[in-house]
Structure 1
Amino acid sequence: MPPRVAPTFRQQRLGAELRKLRENAGMTASAAGALLGVDQARISNIECGRAGISADRLRTLACNYACGNQKLIDALAAMTGDRTRYWWEEYRGILPPGQIDIAELEFHATELRTAQTSTLPGLLQTVDHARIVFDLGVPPLPPSEVEHRTSFRMKRQAVLYRDDAVSYTAIIHEAALRMQFGGRTTSRKQLEHIVSTSERDNVTVLVIPFSAGEFPGSGQTILYASGPTPELDTVQLDQMGGPAFQDASAQLARYDAVIELLKQASLSPAASRDFIRGIIREL
């Protein structure tokens, strides 16, 4: 079977984790290939997500890599056999790959935590707010792409409403809440939507008011997506050139700590709802 031309984010992550296990074991790709009866090139393709691997073969490698983390092995094995064509695939080739990766990351996460200072979380945006955000692109996006990006963002929000809805915590600074995208009417509806969504059992919205003063991680948008095991957690950061993804243990620990500190600087969920309602009354 020829190598995949465009491996998905999940396929790439599976391969990267296998590479970590092999390197931690001090084993070469050639030696790993010998365990499976394949050449070094095949192992390289597996580790970059361009070739698949069965659950049985993955367990063979994990055993020879002396990996004793059974929960991680089981989670990786579960990632090998999924051939489902998910909804975001219809946007592949239409939207930038990084946007597709975010949707895949959110869909498979066991918990999502985000912290945002100057923008509202995409999973909490109304269609009118999202469309205005994309209309403000530099350089301007063609109308068709604005619509593609808007519909894509709305479909991403299904993770909050499906039967096995993901646990979602959004930490939002007052600055983002007060920016009037689209004028007062659109802003009012947007804030009302956030309040309404925050009343769902799986959604927590926490507000950092101006009065909180300084706080760590200010100015940076952080999405922390928890996996089935801590080793499979991922942090996504917004950058001008597109989203950046971090999964090194030191990076994960750092951003986990930052988010926890931001939570401490925030109002309680109930006080946050009241705070947002106060902004709505001012509009």
Structure 2
Amino acid sequence: MAPAQITHIESALAGVSEQRVRRLASHYACADAEFVDALVAMATDRTHGWWEEYRGLLPTPFLDLSELEHHARYLRHVAILYVPGLLQTEEYSRAVFSARLPELTAEELELRIRHRKERQRFAIPYEAVIHEAALRIRVSDRAASRAQLKRLLEVSDADHISVRVIPFDQDDFPRASGTMTYVGGPLSKLDTVVRDALHGTVFIDSEAQLNTYRTSFRKVEEASLDPEKSRDFIRRLAKEL
């Protein structure tokens, strides 16, 4: 292959065939057949996802995240300051996006809200661990906060969604190191961690780092209330508003 061909494949400007994936795997002495098969399935999937309608309208990381979630086996989220996007009401999302700097135009704001609502149509196992701070911070007004708590109670009734809370007075909070989304791939080798940073969205997929985040999520989970106690906690907060 010419260097330009490889560059186009790595930049997602050109597709790659099953034969070429298998030849490359052989060339690099990859003997993990299950892993190679998963790569072939990814490389030859020509599905035109719903997120493609936003190409050129939203930043690329929005589309990458949508595609990751579409192909995921499960999702896990740790939220410290904001309710996870997949569980937000429209009003909550609007308030969060409206506070963004630099400010968004009205069109950009509506595109982000519509895209987020599309992402919320998922049916795979999803576990969210939310700190009490995120439940108490009012991104808008009291009514919006109350509606958001009600929304969390509603979605946590679904069989595929689990919501857990870390109260302020819970021990071992230092283990909850920060916000992250853990996306379970077709194989554990293809898992991805998504983190928001000041310079943009970061996608992490190296095995060493993934192991660190797996351990981190397990410890965060241990520091949280179980789902039923979390629902009771959210109900008490809603009554306070």
Shorter-chain TM-score above 0.5: yes
Residue of structure 2 aligned with 1:247, choices 177, 200, 205 = 205
Counterpart amino acid of residue 94 in structure 1: L
Matches of 2:21 and 2:61 in 1, distance apart? 27
Mapped contact 2:175–2:223 kept (Cα < 8 A):
no
Matches within 5 A, 1:106-185: 106-159=69-122, 165-185=123-143
Q: What displacement does 1:47 show?
A: 3.4
Q: What displacement does 1:169 show?
A: 0.5
Counterpart amino acid of residue 237 in structure 2: I
Matches of 1:245 and 1:47 in 2, distance apart? 16
CA deviations over 1:8-37 (Å, ceiling 9, x no partner):
xxxxxxxxxxxxxxxxxxxxxxxxxxxxxx
The normalised TM-score by structure 2 is 0.95
Could you say which residue in structure 1 is the equivalent of 2:9? 46
Residue of structure 1 aligned with 2:58, choices 80, 95, 102 = 95
> Rg bigger for which structure?
1
Q: Which has the higher contact order (CA 8 A, sep 6+)?
A: 2
Q: What displacement does 1:236 show?
A: 0.4
Unaligned runs of 5+ in 2: none
Percent identity (aligned): 45
Q: What SS does the aligned partner of 1:155 have?
A: helix
Q: What displacement does 1:227 show?
A: 0.5
Residue of structure 1 aligned with 2:68, choices 84, 101, 105 = 105
Could you say which residue in structure 1 is the equivalent of 2:189? 231
Q: Against the structure 1 CA distance between its residues 185 and 46, is the aligned structure 2 distance closer, same or farther, given a 3 Å change threshold?
A: same
Runs of 4+ in structure 1 displaced over 6 angstroms? none
Mapped contact 2:176–2:219 kept (Cα < 8 A):
no
Q: What displacement does 1:178 show?
A: 0.7
Matches of 1:178 and 1:102 in 2, distance apart? 27
Unaligned runs of 5+ in 1: 1-37, 160-164
Mapped contact 1:215–1:265 kept (Cα < 8 A):
no
Q: What displacement does 1:82 show?
A: 1.9
Q: Against the structure 1 CA distance between its residues 93 and 210, is the aligned structure 2 distance closer, same or farther, given a 3 Å change threshold?
A: same
Counterpart amino acid of residue 16 in structure 2: I
Paired residues, number: 240
Matches within 5 A, 1:258-269: 258-269=216-227
Matches of 1:181 and 1:246 in 2, distance apart? 28
Matches of 2:40 and 2:103 in 1, distance apart? 43
Say yes or no: does 1:206 pair with 2:151.
no
Mapped contact 1:112–1:224 kept (Cα < 8 A):
yes
Counterpart amino acid of residue 266 in structure 1: S
Q: What displacement does 1:94 show?
A: 1.3
Could you say which residue in structure 2 is the equivalent of 1:22? none
Q: What SS does the aligned partner of 1:243 have?
A: strand
Counterpart amino acid of residue 44 in structure 2: G
Q: What SS does the aligned partner of 2:197 have?
A: coil
Could you say which residue in structure 2 is the equivalent of 1:56? 19
